[in-house]
Amino acid sequence: MATKQIKVSDLTGEEIRDTENLARIVVEEHPTIDDSVTLEVLPEEIEDKLPEVEGYVRISYYPPSGDGGDVQEFVMTLEQFNNLSDEWDMQAVLESALALQAEEERSRRGRQGRRGRGEGARRPRVDYSDPMHAGEPHRGRITDTERDYVRENLSEVNARLERDGYRTIDPSDPDMSERYGLTPVETAKEL
């Protein structure tokens, strides 16, 4: 049996058919992420958006290997960084890429530790903080990341949930409201 791997841009989801045309952005420093995160992109998606040095997020851009170009480092304002993708929220993109990198690292370590044992067919864990799964019904606790994403993108999340056949999130439902922090908790004040 063969496995086919399809590469897609982390910024637009567009398939990268020619891996020689694959560029990478490494987010070296970001106000909300402790580790570096690698995003795979198409050069035409990013090159005209890379700014002069002036801000808060430092990234390294690795042009496609066939271009022979040098690694370029950039520092940009958070606003400029957040505008790199016209399609998705960059905070969610970073968190998703970070979770994937962590999962790949755990998987790599697990394979090294098994030495000689066959790999079991474990069901992959769903990352509910990923924008593609945020708000889906699950038994685990709601992370701050998932809660924030659902609260900030409720209509988008509900449209996706409905499209995928899940229940939608009703802010008037007290349980859902509390679970996702959709309305402030009111306290009774004595006059």
pLDDT digits (tens, 9 = 90+) for 49-64: 775 544 568 888 888 8
Crossing angle for the helix pair 154-163 and 144-152, to the nearest 10 degrees: 100
pLDDT at 152 over 70: yes
Q: Tell me, what's the pLDDT at 114?
A: 55
Q: Tell me, what's the pLDDT at 190?
A: 35
In angstroms, the CA 106 to CA 117 distance is 17
Q: What order of strands is seen across the sheet that includes strand 72-76?
A: 37-41, 23-29, 57-62, 72-76
Average the pLDDT over 4-25 and give the result.
84
Average the pLDDT over 151-155 and give the result.
90
Q: Tell me, what's the pLDDT at 115?
A: 52
Whole-number percent of the chain with pLDDT over 90: 5
Q: What is the pTM of this model?
A: 0.36
Q: Tell me, what's the pLDDT at 44?
A: 86
Q: What is the pLDDT of residues 98-125, one digit of tens each?
A: 888 888 888 877 766 555 445 555 657 7
Q: Tell me, what's the pLDDT at 120?
A: 54
Q: Tell me, what's the pLDDT at 74?
A: 82
Q: Which among 174, 135, 176 has a CA at the least distance from the CA of 153?
A: 135
20 DSSP assignment: G
Whole-number percent of the chain with pLDDT over 70: 84
